[in-house]
Structure 1
Amino acid sequence: MALVLSNEAEYSVVCKRNASLPPAARRWVFSSIAVLILGIAGGFAAAGAWPIAPFAGLELAILFLAFREMARHEGDCETIVIAGDMVKVETVRAGSRQQMQFNRHWVQVVVEPGSALAVPRVWLRSHGRLVEVGRHLSEERRLALARELKLRLTKR
């Protein structure tokens, strides 16, 4: 079930992952790296250093798994809609879709401060329910989203 963005929405924002390597480019990069690794491993194997071949295969398997994980999360996004007295949040993560609705008057924007090792996190909270928003944004944009949401939620 998808959120419907209509003219009655006062505010809506979609946060998407940065798809820096689209599927076609990902296949091309993997193929290029595979040819290079197999060529080097083949050269060493021909020179008598055959034990390098299993490690080349392991390297390609790990690279394949990393690229497959990138593909699984390619469509990840968050949609936040404020319309009337409702705040709707739809989260898509690895193909799984979750939708939550909050009453605008009760929802709170919670900013969990970051540390040297972690970036700040932004949550929408109401009546014991919690959803993280802005996961795909940089630290500055995440904090700007928190400020904007606080402003929009207090406006009426």
Structure 2
Amino acid sequence: MDSPSAPLAEQPFCCVIAPDGSLTPRTAWVFGLLACAPLVIGAVWAGMMGLWPILPFAGLESLAVILTLRHCLRRNAYRQVVRIESGRIRVESGRRGPEQVAVFEQVWARIRLDAAAEPSRLWLVSRGERLELGRGLSEFERRRLAKRLKEVVRPGL
């Protein structure tokens, strides 16, 4: 265990980068069921009034909403875990666990915020390699993350 007086560079650091998504799987199910309402109403109209051309459009509408909910859930599940320990920076990226792992030497690593891009892009750069961080964050959150990572990756500079 590290003593409280250990320098910042020697203390382990861990940061989980995740989008701030309010859609949960439970609420997605509710919205998914509600998305099927036009299909049910279209079926009623088709059966009672003989308006069969309504069904494909109602089906497409329901499908569009369900696919959008699925996309939002997948986006909200994406995580990047940044760990700095023993002079190494380890970045694990994925949805259900680490699907990609990148390791950088802390002494060579730099944090770069490309503010000229719209939206800005945050990069971890080391010896010709680079990895984008915080893709799903808001502009404010990305700038705040860049500031914090600069403090941790290159303490004292």
Alignment equivalent of 1:59, drawn from 50, 58, 61: 61
Residues 72-115 of structure 1: CA deviation (Å, up to 9, x unaligned) = 33421011111231111111157661111111110111111245
Distance 1:94 1:17 in 2: 15
2:79–2:93 contact (8 Å) kept in structure 1: yes
Residues 14-66 of structure 1: CA deviation (Å, up to 9, x unaligned) = 1112231111111111102212x124323543334321111111122222222
- TM-score, normalised via structure 1 length: 0.81
What residue number does 2:7 align with? none
Alignment equivalent of 2:31, drawn from 12, 29, 32: 29
Tell which deviates more after alignment, 63-72 or 74-83. 63-72
Aligned-partner SS, 1:106? coil
CA RMSD of aligned residues (A): 2.4
Tell which deviates more after alignment, 69-78 or 51-60. 69-78
Alignment equivalent of 2:12, drawn from 10, 13, 20: 10
Equivalent residue runs for 1:1-156 within 5 Å:
9-35=11-37, 37-45=38-46, 46-93=48-95, 97-115=99-117, 118-155=118-155
Flag structure 2 segments of 5+ consecutive residues without an equivalent.
3-9
**Shift in Å, 1:128:** 2.1
Q: Size of the alignment, in residue pairs?
A: 148
**Shift in Å, 1:154:** 1.8
